[in-house]
Structure 1
């Protein structure tokens, strides 16, 4: 009798973890379900493809977004792989995976902005339920994904003109020590050599009366440990980048004790942290000739590029304004006045 009572108590205690509700539907423990969430305003209609994995055991909820910029393909293709490689029968907790947040950008091959309304989704958070379609997408992600999450990851790559080196990043603020510390450990578990620290002290986007603008910043603003991936370049689908994203996310699941596995999370021996970044912009419209590529180490005063007019006349010789590693540089010829040419990361000496 005691044995039967014990089993009954165990089942009752765990009954609330046997399913997960999303969009008015129930996902049973150990299963996954796909959703095609409709989004529309008075002028446009689109949708968001979402897969929810409900684990077999109690655990936290991890929100993942890919395709916030729809021309950044490696995160989107890694999401397609994760549909198969995340096994809900070997999962603790819940993973909510947004495969393509910005279908309007993706399907129209539109860099940076949603072709339906010309808005940049990653400058629109927390969104607006009464706004245009991009604002409504941000509102849905904020209230239906981020608000349900205990941990959050936003995955990006280099858009069409962006030569970008791969790295992980996490949000940090001295007033949010726990979320910052957990975010750092999540970033380390993503297995990238370089980790950028998004220091948020004094930043408007974490203030209560200011919009967060960025997807993962909205999560951190809610005291949710939040990380980013940047992996992929120039709008290309490179298999190495796709697999690197998938590998990092699966390892992070083990780190978060969400993946039922005999394996322990892989830990790299060392990481290179980047806290300060130097941005350099163009002073002219014209044609840009980069002399360096992403991942190159440069020194202050080094010649890193040149801008000419449309007849080959040099308008500006670009010199590095700081020592460091090139996190990003424009990798295609067109350049506009005021546009960012390159970003230099100051690698911490640790």
Structure 2
């Protein structure tokens, strides 16, 4: 039956009722309509080298372009595996427009099992945008994504999870700025279409990186700064491969494609009936180097003054007790012992 539906769609396209898709040029290669192509983009700085695996899907009908990145932090495995599932789940013969999928932006971090930073140059890719064409490896990766993927996108999605020490709630997020109401509103709709129970607003009012001469730092912030509706997925925790998180990510992206009109066939959308909107987050940080003992877990509802955990020195003496500064949902809490002075220990989300 599915094969018959595809044949009907193909005949419909050829009959002239829809605008046939043309080839999509990417890295000097034509991606034909109704096909996907794999690219391994070499990034070299003269001393070190890496690669960026990218899949380009070109649909059978003319449309817009969606850019997707996974693995900007290479220890965040759920979105990386979710992206790999999408390679097979997205059929370009049933697609309108173009999808550029970066399956693993931080390859060296991934191979080196290195949370947050690349072991090659010690830089955090998600603090390096828009990057530098003549910079270090990480800065060059950021530059390539900025100039060859984000710049071509009408919509943008960056997929993350809790890194090695982070116990994290599942949520979607969107970028917002009062000077960009239409782009912000579209981002909110996109974030809602992903079907998560919690949706976080990244309010950039007053943020320097929105200004033209300031670095955006974050991958999605770079897209938003360019006037592109931009959203994030945060799904998974502590670098653990949990199949439900992988499946949730892949299914949520298909729901987004359906909402944006990229899918020619209807997809069953996993939309939450009553998503909880979060517009304010409260951060608690460590005042010491030492060991952290959490007393709560991500997703717990906490009350102001409630104990979240404590920090000890290396001999076990308590240096700091961390208390909830507001009522709200515990969006993230550090779940492994090492803690550095100034690091975020917990994030509380105030529920709208």
Q: Same fold (TM over 0.5)?
A: yes
Tell me the equivalent position of 2:275: 271
Matched, 1:224 2:235: no
Alignment partner, residue 61 of structure 1 = 65
Q: Which of 329, 335, 339 is residue 331 of structure 1 equivalent to?
A: 335
Q: Which residue of 1 aligns with 2:256?
A: 252
Q: What is the root-mean-square deviation of aligned Cα atoms in Å?
A: 1.6
Q: Structure 2 CA distance, aligned partners of 1:183 and 1:279?
A: 24
Change (3 A) 1:114 1:201: same
**8 Å CA contact 1:57, 1:93 repeated in 2:** yes
Measured against aligned partners, the alpha-carbon deviations of 1:216-251 in whole angstroms (never above 9, x if no partner) come to 000000110000000110111110100000010001
Report the Cα offset of residue 262 of structure 1: 3.3
Query: Deviation digits for residues 109-161 of structure 1, max 9, x if unmatched?
Result: 11100111111000010011010111100000001100000000000011111
* Conserved 8 A contact 2:190-2:259: yes
2:162 to 134, 158, 162: 158
| Closer, same or farther: CA 307–29 of 1 in aligned 2, 3 Å | same
Superposition pairs of residues 142-291 of structure 1, within 5 angstroms: 142-263=146-267, 265-291=269-295
Shift of 1:267: 3.4
Which residue does the alignment assign to 1:319?
Answer: 323
Q: 1: distance between equivalents of 2:123 and 2:350?
A: 31
Residue 3 of structure 1 corresponds to: none
User: Does 1:77 pair with 2:81?
Assistant: yes
CA 142–284 in structure 1, closer or farther in 2 if over 3 Å, else same:
same
Which residue number corresponds to residue 299 of structure 2?
295
Structure 1 runs of 4+ aligned residues shifted over 2 Å read 7-11, 262-268
1:4 corresponding residue in structure 2: none
Q: Are the equivalent residues in 2 in contact too, given 1:142–1:218 (CA < 8 A)?
A: yes
Q: Which residue of 2 aligns with 1:100?
A: 104
Give, in angstroms, the shift of residue 175 of structure 1.
Answer: 1.2
Distance 2:16 2:78 in 1: 43
Match of 2:49 in 1: 45
1:255–1:264 CA contact under 8 A, matched in 2: no
Deviation at 1:43, TM superposition (A): 1.7
**SS in structure 2 at match of 1:46:** strand
| Residues in 2 aligned to 1:262 and 1:43: alpha-carbon distance in whole angstroms | 48
Q: What is the distance in 1 between the residues matched to 2:100 and 2:23?
A: 14
Partner Cα distance (1:229, 1:273) in 2: 14
Task: Please tell me whether residue 36 in structure 1 is matched to residue 57 in structure 2.
Answer: no
Using the size of structure 1 for normalisation, the TM-score is: 0.94
Q: Which residue of 1 aligns with 2:127?
A: 123
* CA distance in 1: counterparts of 2:306 and 2:326, whole angstroms: 9
Whole-angstrom distance in 2 between the partners of 1:347 and 1:253: 28
Q: CA deviation at 1:263?
A: 4.2
> In the TM superposition, what is the alpha-carbon distance from 1:264 to its structure 2 partner?
6.3
The count of aligned residue pairs is 340
Match of 2:9 in 1: none
- Secondary structure at 1:252 match in 2: helix
Query: Contact 2:96 / 2:264 at 8 angstroms: preserved in 1?
Result: yes
Q: CA deviation at 1:253?
A: 0.3
Q: Following the alignment from structure 1 to structure 2, what is the Cα–Cα distance between the partners of residues 155 and 149?
A: 16
Structure 1 contact 286–310 (Cα < 8 Å) conserved: yes
Offset of residue 8 of structure 1: 10
Between the aligned partners of 2:286 and 2:14, the Cα distance in structure 1 is: 69
Provide the C-alpha distance between the structure 1 equivalents of 2:135 and 2:204, rounded to a whole number of angstroms.
27
Structure 2: stretches of 5+ with no match in the other structure: 1-12
What is the TM-score with the length of structure 2 in the denominator? 0.94
1:343 to 2:343 alignment: no
Distance in 2 (alpha carbons) for counterparts of 1:122 and 1:267: 28
